[in-house]
Structure 1
Amino acid sequence: MSPADSSSATNTLGLATSPYLRQHADNPVHWQQWTPQALAQAAARDVPILLSIGYAACHWCHVMAHESFEDDEVAAAMNAGFVCIKVDREERPDIDAVYMNATVALTGHGGWPMTCFLTPDGRPFFCGTYYPKEGFLQLLSAVSDTWQSRRGEVEEAGDHIVGELRKVSAGLPSGGPNVAPELCDHAVATVLREQDTVHGGFGGAPKFPPSALLEALLRHYERTGSPAALHAVAQAGNAMARGGIYDQLAGGFARYSVDNAWVIPHFEKMLYDNALLLRAYAHWARRTADPLARRVARDTANFLLDDLADGDLFVSSLDADADGREGSTYVWTPEQLTEVLGDDDGRWAAGVFAVTEDGTFEHGASVLQAPADVDEQRLQRIRAALLTARRIRIQPGRDDKVITSWNGLAITALAEASVALDEPEFAHAARRCATALLDSHVVAGRLRRASLGGVVGESAAILEDHAMLASGLLALYQLTADQAWLTAASDLLDTALAHFADPHQPGRWYDTADDAEQLMLRPADPVDGATPSGASTITEALLTAAHLVEDERAQRYLHAAGVALQAHSVLLAGAPRSAGHWLAVAEAAVRGPLQIAVAGDPSRSALLAEARRLAPGGAIVVGGQADSSVPLAGRNRIADADAAYVCRGRVCDLPVTTAAELAGALGVPG
């Protein structure tokens, strides 16, 4: 097809299983999904590919769509000179990773929407992010002219970029200092030096919730009793929970704060953030019984169940915008409070939620905060009234796509929160989610990445999907002693070892399977970001499973976990803030990891309940009859009393039969 024939093409996004892609189905741009046919079309027409990557909850993605992709003039230029491909970064994180690395390499920064120009075989030669309409039109013209008149330079640039990216990929971490308590101590000390001691958290604006670091610091505190580590958790946890990044009415966290004091959020709410933060707050609550931690954990779990549930599964996100305006659902003026609550309660609420005449957001409106504790009974009445009024407003859009890995995070968080908060319903929700995922996202024995409306997509699952789902299933196994969860988790781990482990560099993991679609590069990023990396999470799952399965498999898992930790210990030594989940895994590993097997009836055992309450993060806790699982093999009740067997690695203490003896054996700070 020649450029002149491009008018015969059509926009095919209406057939997509991604809500983000479907948002663009009515654009005058002839958008295609990423398929071999789309790439072949670019080759046949001899035009570049214009690759646009974003996601449904992305504010600036919507802005560029309204300014450019819905505009007939821009669309005509795009259709005439390019094959235009839209990608949902959440559905195809492998494509996103490859071209984000190229964008960062070329521009020094990244973000979404991401705009890349590629040769028909996928080599990038120019990359950027958001462009306003006039700038985008000029860019389209310049790229077309360069493609037609200076093709050799374009080809050379594409070759050079690919070559540099391959060099970077080949230079990923491959070893470092031994994984020992001293390395964890060094990593924590380094992280604490970078703490924002005024506002809590780490770094400056924009400020992201440090979910993995909070979990790692709690595990460090449980191992060492470090008051500095616990203080860092408490300061960040309090600041976020009292700030605007937390929804003071309905619960749940926004993706990040645009300021360094957690006041003004970027309003999109992601499943992964809330699952990770639920786990951290539940752990903090379990360890300290802090009332704020307990309330936020419970409300965040209920936010998942109330706002992100789709049947038994959980959807991806709530949009930043409502009716084209960012944050409009959530912000308030003093007058609006009075209108809903009356004069007296309105003035009280304005003080309680830091709603001012000048406003903390835009147009005199304020994001609700909760700087101090107040009359709880009055607060609950006010929250209920405001939430009822808020529901009448135009609500943010919801991305109903179900992502395997993020649901895996939710399973783990809900299972752990059920223990911390003594809420059986959270465990029931975790089990229902796991059952639904295994029923719908496993096709012909292999895991898929995402589904929409019960229809599973074609995209293969990546490493994080296998790892996060396996971790969730292992959490359920420890909670229920149902062998089916352990079997399913082991199947996922075996698949990961067979298809994602690097056969040439022990301990290194690829993010895509060896039999998945081959892109320009095979992504392999071990660095923890907004979510834990696939590599760190699979290492955690292997370490846990190694102490739950039979010996031959246990040895394979334990060896793979140990090699992976050692291969990435350089991250803990040199960049621990970018290795928060690696640090959490290392903290568990240097304790053995700790295992607690309680012989007794798991449905009635007070000692098992106490073991779950006292167990440090990353510990393995199982309960049941002797021989019902590997940790319980040959271990029995003692003199008609339930007995707890505490082991570190392969070394076990004498059994104990009382809660006091168990607390002493575990040595967990109170």
Structure 2
Amino acid sequence: MRTQSSGTRLHKKLIGWSSRQRLLGWLLVAYLFALPLTVMAAPLANRLAHNPSPYLALHGADPVAWQEWSPATVALARQQNKLLFVSIGYFSCHWCHVMQQESYSDPRIAEILNRDFIPVKVDRELNAALDAEMIEFSRRSRGVAGWPLNVFITPEGYPLYATLYSKPDQFLSLITQLSERWQAGSRELKAAARKTAGSGKPVASAPVKLSPDIAATWRKRLVEETLAMADPLRGGLDQARKFPIAPQLTSLLQIQEHHPDERLAAWLTLTLDRMMKGGLRDHVGGGFFRYTVDPDWHTPHYEKMLYDNAQLALLYLRAARVLGKPQYREIAFETLDFMLAEMRDAETGAFIASTSAVDGEGREGGVYLWSREQLRQMLSPGQFALVSRVWGLEAAAESDLGYLPQQMHEPTAAELTQLEPVYRKLREVWRQRHLPKDDKLLAGLNGLALKALSEAAAEDPRYRRSADEVKNFLARQLWQKDGLRQGMGKGKLFGTAELEGYAYAAAGLRYYARLSGKAADHALVDKLAREAWRRFHSARGFRLAGTTLLASENWQASIVDGAIPSPSAELITASQASRDEALRRKGSEALGFTIPSIGRDLFLQASLVATMDATAR
């Protein structure tokens, strides 16, 4: 009110002044009126409460004023000339929760983030393209990547600095220093970020015609590169941690089926055996964990992802036939049964994204671990003696909560039979434990599940109904007039699907169409594939999303495998299987452009190599 009175008095004095005097006077009026607006502007508020993403909703009570990643948020950063602090994670990420409890609940940290930055929280499963680009930026600039992934991005959309999990004092020091540097010279930091901006691998000027010889060259190189990295004693790759590497194992199994190699068969069998017998697999509740923190497949990180379990169910189902191991078929069906029991949404029949690594009390592995005392109370003396030998209870437990059931020592056939009632007893208690879940229903991940269900239904009709339900969810709820939606949460549709959503949904629906044999199902796949090509492919290659809101578009000749298969390879494969000649030609042409882009790290391009091999046959 005082400012308005001052402005009014000044306005009266302007009458009769010279034009220069009036101009200066009006500038002073504008300043006087604008100043209180800046000072009194409402502070940012946390916008994540009741978000349909369970991961974002978890942060709804943080003192950090989290915003969602959107054009309006980026525009706000430009308007206020502030760095965007973009924190990327996902529901079942243990260290994401640790950083929330330690740092994002700290009032000192929240004060600086809210005052000097535009804080943004991102669910990586809803912004896969942004996540992929920030992961690549972190690898390129820091040499490491993972989650929680925290990236400072300039208002213009260039990533400036990335960091992973940090202890509160370290993180407080980082944001304090970065804030001071930004205030002292934002122009220099903007220039540095713009200079270091990366770009994708450009498409070659002319495609290469695929031939059996070219396909054979890359196929053989992939096998040799894999065997050179393989762990010959424990399976998997020779690394400190063991991941299921499902896209690569699936591609190599496909190659093994058509080009048998004794060395590859032995390594595939060893890897699949160790994964199903060790701690990567939940022997009580079924399904597979994300990875193990040791090279012996013993101690898992306890989250279970839909994408891992869907891929591994399909992998074991195929491996039973290709490698001649009937037991693998049982593991495949057990994994699908776990998905149906623990990850199926009762209302839609679709599958949720993941289950948490921590239990309802925040204890890592609390749902899956058993103490000696618990086992003694639940089991007969003979059963306890049996599990003591097979599970290795003579050694000290690796967790204060107890032991994880797994085959530390190979059981006999008779002992395997005797273990079944033990698992049934434990399963009854296991179901009573509280396991937090990410109940998002995502298009792409349900496409992966539909692939597994459709192939399983061809062998066992009891999976047909579940395949029908997932197909109907994709076709009737997520496929809208304006295109495919990313998914659904709490009954609300998410935004437009990215390339992963389109590619995996199209692949899953293609498998279902083969199962049903209906022309309408094939036609639906073709619609999705055509729309995916229109949205995400051009003469410059593939892009992961229509826009990431970053400053530069990242077009790539082909996209590498990660924990899930290359979406560009999946789209090419789904298109080449079409009855539509134009779609088949589109897939073949895109494949021709990818051939010159293949370079080192063939293991990361296994899906592409397998696609080339299948096309050339």
When the two structures are superposed, what TM-score results if normalisation uses the length of structure 2?
Answer: 0.88
Secondary structure at the aligned position of 1:324 is classed as: coil
Q: CA deviation at 1:291?
A: 3.3
Superposition map of 1:249-268 within 5 A: 249-268=284-303
Task: Give the number of aligned pairs.
Answer: 571
- Equivalent residue number for residue 625 of structure 1: none
* 1:301-342, Cα deviation, whole Å (9 max, x unpaired): 101101110131001001111122211211223332112113
| Contact preservation (8 Å) 2:67, 2:119 | yes
Q: CA deviation at 1:15?
A: 4.6
1:532 aligns with 2:565: yes
| Contact preservation (8 Å) 2:285, 2:430 | no
| Alpha carbons of structure 1 residues 560 and 365: separation in structure 2 relative to 1, 3 Å | same
| Alpha carbons of structure 1 residues 425 and 348: separation in structure 2 relative to 1, 3 Å | same
- Equivalent residue number for residue 241 of structure 2: 206
Worse-matched range after superposition: 429-438 or 184-193: 184-193
Q: 2:440 aligns with which of 398, 401, 405?
A: 401
- Equivalent residue number for residue 22 of structure 1: 57
Hey, what's the Cα distance between the residues in 1 that align with 2:201 and 2:262? 39
| Alpha carbons of structure 1 residues 5 and 244: separation in structure 2 relative to 1, 3 Å | farther
- Equivalent residue number for residue 192 of structure 1: 227
| Alpha carbons of structure 1 residues 572 and 40: separation in structure 2 relative to 1, 3 Å | closer
| Contact preservation (8 Å) 1:512, 1:523 | no
* 1:543-595, Cα deviation, whole Å (9 max, x unpaired): 222xxx1xxx32x233332233333335766322111212332232222xxxx
Unaligned runs of 5+ in 1: 592-670
Hey, what's the Cα distance between the residues in 1 that align with 2:421 and 2:326? 19
Q: CA deviation at 1:345?
A: 1.2
* 1:446-467, Cα deviation, whole Å (9 max, x unpaired): 0111211231112x21112111
What amino acid maps onto 2:571 in structure 1?
Answer: I
Q: CA deviation at 1:389?
A: 1.9
Larger Rg: 2
1:366 aligns with 2:403: yes
* 1:613-649, Cα deviation, whole Å (9 max, x unpaired): xxxxxxxxxxxxxxxxxxxxxxxxxxxxxxxxxxxxx
1:381 aligns with 2:421: yes
Hey, what's the Cα distance between the residues in 2 that align with 1:121 and 1:5? 26
Q: CA deviation at 1:425?
A: 2.1
1:497 aligns with 2:537: no
| Contact preservation (8 Å) 2:204, 2:596 | no
Percent of counterpart pairs with the same letter? 29
| Alpha carbons of structure 1 residues 108 and 6: separation in structure 2 relative to 1, 3 Å | farther
| Higher normalized contact order (CA 8 Å, seq sep 6+, divided by chain length) | 2
Secondary structure at the aligned position of 2:542 is classed as: coil
- Equivalent residue number for residue 10 of structure 2: none
Hey, what's the Cα distance between the residues in 1 that align with 2:594 and 2:405? 41
| Alpha carbons of structure 1 residues 173 and 237: separation in structure 2 relative to 1, 3 Å | farther
1:437 aligns with 2:474: yes
When the two structures are superposed, what TM-score results if normalisation uses the length of structure 1?
Answer: 0.81
- Equivalent residue number for residue 502 of structure 2: 466
Secondary structure at the aligned position of 1:184 is classed as: helix
| Alpha carbons of structure 1 residues 160 and 488: separation in structure 2 relative to 1, 3 Å | same
Secondary structure at the aligned position of 1:189 is classed as: helix
Q: CA deviation at 1:207?
A: 1.7
- Equivalent residue number for residue 612 of structure 1: none
| Contact preservation (8 Å) 1:3, 1:47 | no
Q: CA deviation at 1:47?
A: 2.2
- Equivalent residue number for residue 590 of structure 1: 616
Q: CA deviation at 1:91?
A: 0.4
| Contact preservation (8 Å) 2:576, 2:587 | yes
Superposition map of 1:7-156 within 5 A: 8-156=43-191
| Contact preservation (8 Å) 2:203, 2:593 | no
| Contact preservation (8 Å) 1:532, 1:581 | yes
* 1:351-405, Cα deviation, whole Å (9 max, x unpaired): 222334412x223732221242443432110100011122333x33100011111
Secondary structure at the aligned position of 1:325 is classed as: coil
- Equivalent residue number for residue 17 of structure 2: none
Hey, what's the Cα distance between the residues in 1 that align with 2:575 and 2:507? 9
* 1:220-249, Cα deviation, whole Å (9 max, x unpaired): 222123222222221110000001010011
After superposition, the CA RMSD in angstroms is: 2.2
| Alpha carbons of structure 1 residues 452 and 172: separation in structure 2 relative to 1, 3 Å | farther
Q: 1:225 aligns with which of 249, 253, 260?
A: 260
Hey, what's the Cα distance between the residues in 1 that align with 2:548 and 2:513? 33
Unaligned runs of 5+ in 2: 1-35
Secondary structure at the aligned position of 1:321 is classed as: coil
| Alpha carbons of structure 1 residues 103 and 182: separation in structure 2 relative to 1, 3 Å | closer
| Contact preservation (8 Å) 1:52, 1:114 | yes
| Contact preservation (8 Å) 1:404, 1:449 | yes
Q: CA deviation at 1:173?
A: 11
- Equivalent residue number for residue 380 of structure 2: 342
